[in-house]
Amino acid sequence: MTSQQTEQVWKALDSFRIELPSWGFADTGTRFGKFHQPAAAATIEEKFSDAAEVNRVTGVCPTLALHVLWDFKGERSAAEVTELAARTGIRAGSINPNLFQDQIYKFGSLGNPDPKIRETASQHILESIAIATTVNSRDISLWFADGSNYPGTQNIRHRKAWFEDGLRSAHAALKNDQRLLVEYKPFEPAFYHTDIADWGMALELARAAGPQAKVLVDTGHHYSAQNIEQIVAWLLDSNMLGGFHFNDRRYADDDLTLGSIDPYQVFRIFHEIVLFEFETGKPADIAYMVDQSHNLKPKIEAMIQTVTTAQELFAKAAIVDHEKLAATQMTCALVDAETCLKDAFATDVRPVIEEWRIARGLPPQPMAAFRESGYQQRIEAERGSKGRGGGSSYA
């Protein structure tokens, strides 16, 4: 790598921060069952502790996304989160309402035909915004399971209008520095129609909500052949990209570690972001968040693996020769243009990332540092195989 490329990688890594999910450290399951891990976190204190360990070896994960139903219980919850943040150095990240688990949401939340249930859902979002204010969190992340399984059973246009009303109400409660992030998903658990099924629907609803609403892109929430980087480019151009939920997928929403299936796609997504920043001269205000719940991989190791993979792919995107790429694009020199991307993707950036870590006082090999720390063995012994529940399946 050239000295210029090395400088570009260091600059990119200095700006790159990734939020971890509290539910990713807990015992979670599929529709078919749950496989317990003896080290799984069962309390909010244990989740903060695990997140702090990931941040200790990576240095780039200062926030923890929190789930209202699973992480805030009782009157002391917000105060406890504030105290844990001060103790562990991990701040509260995005606040995630739960609008899919309670029995009343059998036929939807904001899209439910029953106005009383819609009001209950709206009130829960308002309570979540209040929690976010108390713990000094900027983003309220909204995912809805709303939809229907059979043709003719719901009025799709009415449900759209109800969503618009509910999101406007939520937007009106935001503080000046807060944001609503509207997520989308093509299917599951609704299999005929999903109320927010793609980025266009999320974009329209975010615009209807108000100027502090943006779109959240979950990299797993797409059909297999979807061109996610095109979606990212359009949202960037419209100033409507609020954040990501990082994972990888074989089919749709598989919650696999980032880059485990298609690292080139993740690289292409990062490239669109870096290119946008290069051309506009301003940083993209994007919340990078992990959304993974692992039943098979050790949970903390899976988080470290995802973070380090994201760093590598982001660094590769940072060394694309954008001036050369622009010239080849304008002359339609197809082979040369594609080679610009492939050369950057093929570059081994790991030695430079190790140098950056050492210079920042971090372990050069985060996974090795974690394994040598004995943290995993200690929490397995302390928490034991007690079958403690720590969360639920999350979208």
Is residue 218 within 8 Å of 253, Cβ to Cβ? yes
Phi-psi region of 89 (alpha: psi -120 to 50; beta: other; left: phi over 0): left
Q: For residues 32 and 11, what is the distance between their CA atoms, to the nearest angstrom?
A: 44
Which amino acid is located at 239 in the chain? N
Query: Residue 157: what pLDDT?
Result: 98
- Does residue 349 contact residue 312 with C-beta atoms inside 8 Å? yes
pTM: 0.95
Q: What is the pLDDT of residue 270?
A: 98
Which of 284, 260, 291 shows the shortest CA–CA distance to 93? 291
- Reduce the DSSP state of residue 255 to 3 states and report it: coil
Determine the pLDDT at residue 368. Answer: 98
Do β-strands 193-194 and 213-218 pair in parallel, antiparallel, or remain unpaired? unpaired
Separation of alpha carbons 158 and 267, rounded Å = 39
Rounded to whole angstroms, how far apart are CA atoms 15 and 60?
9
Q: Where are the beta strands (DSSP E) in 149-199?
A: 179-183, 193-194
Residue 306 neighbours by CB under 8 Å, 6+ apart: 246, 247, 257, 258, 259, 290, 292
The set of residues, in sequence order, having a beta carbon less than 8 Å from that of 63 and lying 6+ positions away, is: 17, 19, 20, 90, 91, 92, 93, 94
State the Cα–Cα distance between residues 125 and 81, nearest whole angstrom.
Answer: 19
Mention every residue, 6+ apart, whose C-beta is less than 8 A from residue 157. none
Answer yes or no: are the C-beta atoms of 264 and 258 closer than 8 Å: no
Among 242, 218, 208, which Cα is nearest to 290's? 218
State the burial class of residue 197 (Cβ atoms within 10 Å of its Cβ: 0-12, 13-18, 19+). Answer: middle
| The one-letter amino acid at 279 | E
Domain boundaries defined on the chain = 15-320
The pLDDT of residue 181 is 98
Nearest to 208 by CA among 236, 176, 182: 182
At 120, the amino acid letter reads T
| The pLDDT value given to residue 31 | 72
Per-residue pLDDT of the chain (395 residues; tens, 9 = 90+): 899 999 999 999 999 999 999 999 999 877 787 888 999 999 999 999 999 999 999 999 999 999 998 999 876 689 999 999 999 999 999 999 999 999 999 999 999 999 999 999 999 999 999 999 999 999 999 999 999 999 999 999 999 999 999 999 999 999 999 999 999 999 999 999 999 999 999 999 999 999 999 999 999 999 989 999 999 999 999 999 999 999 999 988 888 999 999 999 999 999 999 999 999 999 999 999 999 999 899 999 999 999 999 999 999 999 999 999 999 999 999 999 999 999 999 999 999 999 999 999 999 999 999 999 999 999 999 998 555 544 444 44
* C-alpha span between 168 and 164 (Å, rounded): 6
Backbone phi, psi, residue 287, to 5°: -90, 115
The answer to whether the beta carbons of residues 289 and 246 sit under 8 Å apart is yes
pLDDT score of 75? 63
**What pLDDT does 390 receive?**
44
Closest CA to 322 of 308, 343, 353: 343
Q: What is the pLDDT of residues 32-90, one digit of tens each?
A: 878 889 999 999 999 999 999 999 999 999 999 999 989 998 766 899 999 999 999 99
Count CB-CB contacts under 10 A for residue 138.
18
Distances (CA, A) of 61 to 5, 48, 174, 378: 24, 11, 25, 22
Neighbour-count burial of 114, counting CB atoms closer than 10 A to its CB (0-12 exposed, 13-18 middle, 19+ buried): exposed
What amino acid is encoded at 65 in this protein? A
Q: Which CATH architecture has domain 15-320?
A: Alpha-Beta Barrel (3.20)
